[in-house]
Structure 1
Amino acid sequence: MAVTPNSGAQISLTEAETLVDDFKAKFPSEIKASFIGIENVQNLLKQDGCIGIRMYYGYDNDAERLSPVFVGVNSDGEDMIDLIMDRSVPCPPDCDANSPLNR
């Protein structure tokens, strides 16, 4: 499947809860989520030719946790590796205590 500016799809809260619950069941000791700020998202997206963002599933051996790596992607589906983002804020400890995705 080719990447396009419209890749991805909206899902329901129920579908999201199922995905998150299944992940937590399979990987109970992993972080639940990661946060990256709008400035860094915009920096990725404003690169010439960028049509979206790809997230790689990384692992930080020092922190012993998942550590997502974000790159811009061009219309050919190629990673734009001049700007790579990491060091997102993990949940826990920084979580939305009221979110149904964080139960």
Structure 2
Amino acid sequence: MSISQSSGSEIALDEAKKLVETFKYKFPEQIKASFVGSESLNLILKQEGCIGVRIYYGYDAVSERLAPVLVGVDEKGEDMSDGIVMDKLKPCPQYCDPTSPFFLEK
């Protein structure tokens, strides 16, 4: 299976909620989500040759929580690690939408 600019698929809200619920059940102490602003995301996407973003699941040992790392990917499927690499996304809880069907406060 290869990657392209159209990689990824829409899923139904119920399926998405199930994925989020399962994660929350398995990892109850972890952050629920991370937010990245469009200007920051566009810094990665606007790099020459960038066809998308790869999200690595990092872990911040100081704050003891997940820390997603974003990096651009070129048409060969290779990380553009010599370009913009991003972390320090805004975590939920703290920066959450409590009205979201994904909030799942328990």
TM-score normalised by the chain length of structure 2: 0.95
Residue 26, structure 1, aligned to residue 46, structure 2: no
Q: Where does the alignment leave 5 or more consecutive residues of structure 1 unmatched? A: none
Q: Name the structure 2 match of 1:13.
A: 13
Query: What secondary structure is seen at the aligned counterpart in 2 of 1:24?
Result: helix
The amino acid across from 2:96 in the alignment is: C
Give the length in aligned residue pairs: 103
Deviations 1:63-100 (A, max 9, x none): 11000000000000000112100000000011001000
Structure 2 unaligned residues grouped into runs of 5+: none
Give the TM-score of the pair, scaled to structure 1.
Answer: 0.98
Say whether residues 1:44 and 2:44 are aligned partners: yes
Determine what percentage of the aligned residue pairs are the same residue.
53
The secondary structure found in structure 1 opposite 2:103 is coil
- Could you say which residue in structure 1 is the equivalent of 2:59? 59
Equivalent residue number for residue 79 of structure 1:
79
